[in-house]
Structure 1
Amino acid sequence: MPKILIVTTSHDQLGGTGRQTGLWLEELATPYYALLDSGADIIVASIKGGEVPFDARSIKADGNNPPPVQRFLSDDHAMACVRSTPSIDKVRASDYDAIFLPGGHAAMWDLPGNAALANALGQAFDEGRVVAAVCHGAAGLISAKRADGSPIVRDRRVSGFTDAEEEAEGLTEIVPFLLETRLRELGARFEKTSNFRPFAVQDGNLITGQNPMSSAKVAELVLQAVTSASDRPPAFATPTDARPMFITMRLSAKDADAFKRHLLSVIPVTRLAPGCRYSHSYQGTSTANALLLVQGWDSIEQQHAYVAWRTRRGDFVRFRALLDKDPEVESFTLFDA
């Protein structure tokens, strides 16, 4: 299971204008769910720690937001994460497979000058771990250097919020610097498309996107980069005489919400397993800690191979801890297709 560290801005003022700014929520919410739903383990940190300020312009009336933003605002766990983040200097960034920087104009003020972030990004880059940013999040790359002292963006294909987009926003005289111009000055090979169109580029372990509309493309590239062959279930051929099988497990968890979040990270990985037709979980309405896990497989042998793989990885240790007992199988049925 890949581990992703997301680092956001803690800034909330648009220069000396007196106007509020902060994180552009789409740039967090879209990658957050794309990665979470694909099995990643995610922590959200910020520059100063504490509550992450949202740019009010990135949140519309209820029901009018992009689906990931609406989902995030309605997700108690996600909202709790951004209300109480650890500061970047309290996080051991070396524990993560990727560091991702969402933007918002506020990122232009506090990401570039943060030494802990710069050190974490430089070390991750040199070690071949993924470094990613979208829109103004690329401002966090400005101060990041390799061990030899060279900028991590030098001679690399990168993107970010363009000078033309900044002009279209009317903020060229407000932001502390123009992101595209600064990245070019550092030796980056800056690439872009037309204003406010999705665009992302990958150069080795460096992944960047141009604007908020590029968030999904960046998340897709990050996921591909951190998901190695060892993170995927092993291939297992369907026996010639196999019959499809159906399994349900009725589970009682000591912490149903934590277990539900665990299943949401496990299920996308399960669906990658050869022979898995579907895998779903359902949480009871009358009994909050009752859950039902339903799976369909091409053969019992494939399901057993998958369970053995997860056991070797140690995944069931956490599974049992959340349940406070071993899982109980309710039905285990072979059936003809």
Structure 2
Amino acid sequence: MNFNNGNKNNRVGRILSIDIENNAAMAKVEVLAQNQRQYTDYFMLMKYQGAWKIVQKSYTWKEIPKQGNKILFITSNQHTYGNTNLNAANHFAEIVIAYDIFRKNGYTVDFVSPQGGAIPLGYIETSNSIQKAHLYDTDFMRMLKNTFKPTQINASDYRAVYYSGGGSAMFGVADNKEIQNIVGQIYGNGGVVSAICHGTAGIVNLKDSNGKSIFSNKKITGFPDIFENTNAEYYKTFPFSIDKEIIRNGGDFVYSKKFGNNFFITDGNIVTGQDPSATASVAQQVIKTIQKN
């Protein structure tokens, strides 16, 4: 938050990075202003007499995309499978493939996680040109290091949400009330709810304004138990089975018995994909569904 003579000036900001070397530092800050501009401020600081002082400042700015051109990615902060030492991560390809498609079609993407800040990444393939390009894109990676907290999100800004997958997606997302409220508002306003693979775990508790599951009597897919090693230690940490929980809450869980064949389902304003192979199709279907509304 910026201040002027001790008064708030209705700007919302977040620190993107701080690099410190001895008594010098460089900070990068993103600020959203009421004049529909997004500023990026660069501060050069020096430590003098035990306190940091700003010695130089510069900035750039761009117009904030108009309402209706934003999509919210929902990710997880979970680094392990449950309380074990087994590493868990957000699926990098499921993030960057969808992100790339949305961006190329004129959409702005924001990232949120239950706790905000950095999220763990895995399943990275540098042989994939899109993944490699984003892995070395410092601005993109900075967003994943500084995801928004739910309290920083204004639901009315978004036309769709996208739950990415990976083992991390099984933890901390589905039971987060703040995220549920955000998605509920977006869906209630005619927005699209989408998920890929284990990301479908995030939607299991979503309800409409009448307290009914948003996917009741709708076809939903996600990563089914037939592709899980249900005897493995990682699976034993799962708080629930995705397909069983969707069914328990009134959904019609469907899936392909063949892994990796781009299986996805669109039912009303809900778009879901079974596994990573459907990531691009889910993103494209989200765009088509937005354009229909």
TM-score (norm 1): 0.63
- The reply to whether residue 27 of structure 1 matches residue 94 of structure 2 is yes
Q: Given the alignment, which residue of 98, 114, 125 partners 1:47?
A: 114
Aligned match for 1:18, one of 85, 91, 109: 85
Cα offset, 1:136, TM superposition? 1.1
Stretch of structure 1 that moved more, 18-27 or 192-201: 192-201
1:104 alignment partner in structure 2: 166
Q: 1:7 Cα shift? A: 1.4
Q: What amino acid does structure 2 have at the position aligned with 1:16?
A: N
Higher Rg = 1
Matched, 1:172 2:239: no
Aligned AA for 1:110? Answer: G
- How far 1:16 moved relative to its partner? 3.3
Quote the Cα distance in structure 2 between the aligned partners of 1:194 and 1:72. 32
2:286 to 218, 222, 241: 222
Q: How many residues align?
A: 224
Matches within 5 A, 1:1-337: 2-55=69-122, 58-60=123-125, 63-64=126-127, 66-167=128-229, 170=232, 171-197=234-260, 198-227=262-291
**Letter of the 1:174 counterpart:** T
1:20-46 CA-to-partner distances (Å, cap 9, x unmatched) read: 112111110110001101111111122
SS at match of 2:90: coil
After the TM superposition, list the runs of 4 or more consecutive aligned residues in structure 1 that deviate by more than 6 angstroms. none
**AA at the equivalent of 1:201:** I
In 2, Cα distance between equivalents of 1:193 and 1:163: 12
CA contact (8 A) 1:164 1:195 kept: no
Q: 1:119·1:145 contact (CA, 8 Å) conserved in 2?
A: no
The one-letter code of the counterpart of 2:182 is: A
1:145/1:152 contact within 8 Å kept: yes
CA distance in 2, matches of 1:169, 1:54: 25
Any idea what SS the aligned residue of 1:79 has? helix
**3-state SS of 1:122 partner:** helix
Partner of 1:298: none
2-side partners of 1:103 and 1:228: how far apart? Answer: 26
Shift of residue 76, structure 1, vs aligned partner: 1.6
**1:45-86 alpha-carbon deviations (Å, 9 max, x no partner):** 22211111113xx024xx42x332212102121111111111
Deviation at 1:2, TM superposition (A): 2.1
The AA in structure 1 aligned to 2:164 is: P
Deviation string for 1:173-228 (max 9, x for gaps)?
23221111111111111111124222111111111111112111101101112235
Contact 1:89 1:117 in 2 (8 A): no
CA contact (8 A) 1:14 1:174 kept: yes
TM-score (structure 2 length as normaliser) = 0.72
More strand by share: 2
The one-letter code of the counterpart of 1:177 is: F
Equivalent residue letter for 2:283: A
Task: Show structure 1 runs of 5+ residues with no match.
Answer: 230-337
Q: Provide structure 2 residue ranges, at least 5 long, that are not aligned to the other structure.
A: 1-67
- Secondary structure at the aligned position of 1:132 is classed as strand
The 2-side partners of 1:118 and 1:195 are apart by 31
Q: How far, CA to CA, are the matches of 2:271 and 2:288 in structure 1? A: 11
Structure 1 158/169 Cα, relative in aligned 2: closer, same or farther at 3 Å? farther
Cα RMSD for the two superposed structures: 1.8
Distance 1:82 1:203, change over 3 A: same
CA distance in 2, matches of 1:80, 1:144: 29
Superimposed CA distance per residue, residues 140-162 of structure 1 (whole angstroms, 9 cap, x where no aligned partner): 11121101001111111111110
